[in-house]
Structure 1
Amino acid sequence: MKKKFSFLLLLGIVLISLTTACSKKNSKPKTNPEPSASSLINANFKTSFANGHFTQSLNSDEMNQKSKSEGLFKDKGDVTNLTYTLTQKKKSQTEQMWLTKKDMYLLLEQNKGHWIKNSINADTFDSDQVKERFDPATFKSINKAFANKATVQKKNGNYVVSFDGTDTKLWNAVNPLVIDAMNTPGSQNMQVARLVKLAQLQNLNVTYLIDPTTKKVESMTFKARYTAGGKYNFTWNLTYDQLGQHSDLAVPDNIQKDAISAEDIKKAQEEQQQNQK
């Protein structure tokens, strides 16, 4: 009888211990997993990218060349402000540009402080090549490839979606942005396009900062190191930030008012040539 009682007592202690252990296990707070990269990137991408600020740089020591551009954009680039500087062998040239749906305002160093107004359907200028980098549709394939490889972390109250490596699919998706960086604004060079597509990628880093409450993208950064033509090393950086902060972007009134028409310049030159005959 005493042995039976001892056995029941031991059994009771074991059951109590198991129940307590299960209770402690169940009482641990559950941690919610971070949302997927795809859900964060695609939640409000189009509305996030409606307007903003950008900076871009491209350097090659072997070519002794570097370029830098900076500006503002809205409505898929239908309104764009761009300052572009190209430096070759320590000699720099800067141009400023405003684009609208119909017109281009250009300020070159040789313009002596005067803005020149021209139609964007001019044969010598392709506005789409400038505007493409501000169109959400351009990032459809980029975002898809990025989401498949990116990791998600929460830092300083924001979601950081990032990738750092040499993924071929993501690099191919990013190629159009790199090609635009290597071309002069408004021009397309098929040789440059082939050069980029055949380039050897050394490293690619892509980072999106996303607000956890609104799910809006606050900034996007692209960084790459690659070798083109077998001997030219390039460093490329592109950042979009201040997203959603430039909805009132417009060509300044004084530029619209004082700009000299390219057509008027052309007519004046033709008249001068006629008078010289």
Structure 2
Amino acid sequence: MKKKFNFLLLLGVILVSLTTACSKKDSKPKTNPEPSASSLINAKFNSSLANGHFTQTINSDEMSQKSKSEGLFKDKGDVTNLTYTLTQKKKSQTEQMWLTKKDMYLLLEQNKGHWIKNSANANTFDPDQVKERFNPATFKKINKALAKKATVQKKNGNYDISFNGTDSNLWNAVNPLVIDAMNTPGSQNMQVARLVKSAQVQNLKVTYLIDPTTKNVESMTFKAQYIAGGKYNFTWTLTYDQLGQHADLAVPADIQKNAIDAEEIKKAQAEQNKQ
């Protein structure tokens, strides 16, 4: 009888231990999984790109060429401020531009400090080639391809959505941005387009930082190394930041007032040629 009692007592202790262990296991707080890359990217993407700042560089040592463009934008690029510098074999040339729906203001080195005003559709200038990089619709394919491959993690208080590799779908989606980077502002070169589309990507890194509370995109960074033409190595970077901080962007009043009208210059040249 004593042995039976000891056995029942031992069994009771085991059952109590198991019950306690299960209770502790069930009482642990469940951790919620991170939101999907797609849900985070699409939550406030269009409104996040209402205005902001951008910086872009592209470099090829083999071609002894590098360029940098930097500026501000709002309303899908309908107001854009751009500074563009092209360096070839240590010789640099810088252009400044203000672009609106109707007008283009240019400050070239040969203008000797004077802004020139022209129509936004003047001559062979293509304003869309400047503005498309600020249009949320341009990123539709990029965002779709990124969402399929990106990892999501919390980093410095933001959601970090990133990809680092050589995915062909994402590279193809990014191609239009790279093509624009290799063209001078406002010009389209089909040879450049073919060169980029056939380029061999060595590495592509894309990172979006998104505020976990507002779901606003805080910044976007694109970095790529690729070989074009079979022999030219390129490094390209493009960053969008200060998003939502430039809602009051406008062409400065003094530039609008003092800019020399290109049509007036043409008329003066025509009169001079008649003499």
Structure 1 length-normalised TM: 0.98
Residue in 2 that maps onto 1:194: 194
Residue in 1 that maps onto 2:10: 10
Residue in 1 that maps onto 2:216: 216
Shift of 1:10: 2.1
Residue in 2 that maps onto 1:81: 81
Farther off after superposition, 129-138 or 24-33: 24-33
Farther off after superposition, 245-254 or 156-165: 156-165
How many Å separate the matches in 2 of 1:227 and 1:79?
A: 34
Q: Give the match's secondary structure for 2:171.
A: helix
Shift of 1:26: 1.1
How many Å separate the matches in 1 of 2:94 and 2:13?
A: 84
State how 1:146-165 maps to structure 2 within 5 Å.
146-165=146-165
Residue in 2 that maps onto 1:261: 261
Deviations 1:125-166 (A, max 9, x none): 000000000000000000000011100111121111111000
Which 4+ runs in 1 deviate beyond 3 A? none
How many Å separate the matches in 2 of 1:159 and 1:165?
A: 20
How many Å separate the matches in 2 of 1:121 and 1:224?
A: 32
Shift of 1:256: 0.3
Q: Give the match's secondary structure for 2:29.
A: coil
Residue in 2 that maps onto 1:33: 33
Q: Match for 1:166: what amino acid?
A: T
Residue in 2 that maps onto 1:98: 98
Shift of 1:18: 0.8
Unaligned stretches of 5+ in structure 2?
none
Residue in 2 that maps onto 1:52: 52
How many Å separate the matches in 1 of 2:201 and 2:259?
A: 43
How many Å separate the matches in 1 of 2:248 and 2:264?
A: 30
Structure 2 length-normalised TM: 0.99
Q: Match for 1:112: what amino acid?
A: K
Residue in 1 that maps onto 2:173: 173
Q: Percent identity?
A: 85
Farther off after superposition, 4-13 or 95-104: 4-13
CA RMSD, 1 decimal: 0.8
Shift of 1:71: 0.2
How many Å separate the matches in 1 of 2:240 and 2:68?
A: 14
Residue in 2 that maps onto 1:247: 247
How many Å separate the matches in 1 of 2:109 and 2:96?
A: 9
Q: Match for 2:262: what amino acid?
A: A
Unaligned stretches of 5+ in structure 1?
none
Residue in 1 that maps onto 2:237: 237
Number of equivalenced pairs:
275
Shift of 1:117: 0.5
Deviations 1:57-104 (A, max 9, x none): 000000000000000000000000000000001111000000000000
Q: Give the match's secondary structure for 1:214.
A: coil
How many Å separate the matches in 1 of 2:116 and 2:87?
A: 23
Q: Give the match's secondary structure for 1:187.
A: coil
Q: Match for 2:247: what amino acid?
A: S
Residue in 2 that maps onto 1:140: 140
Q: Match for 1:164: what amino acid?
A: N
Q: Give the match's secondary structure for 2:213.
A: coil
How many Å separate the matches in 2 of 1:123 and 1:259?
A: 18
Q: Give the match's secondary structure for 2:33.
A: coil
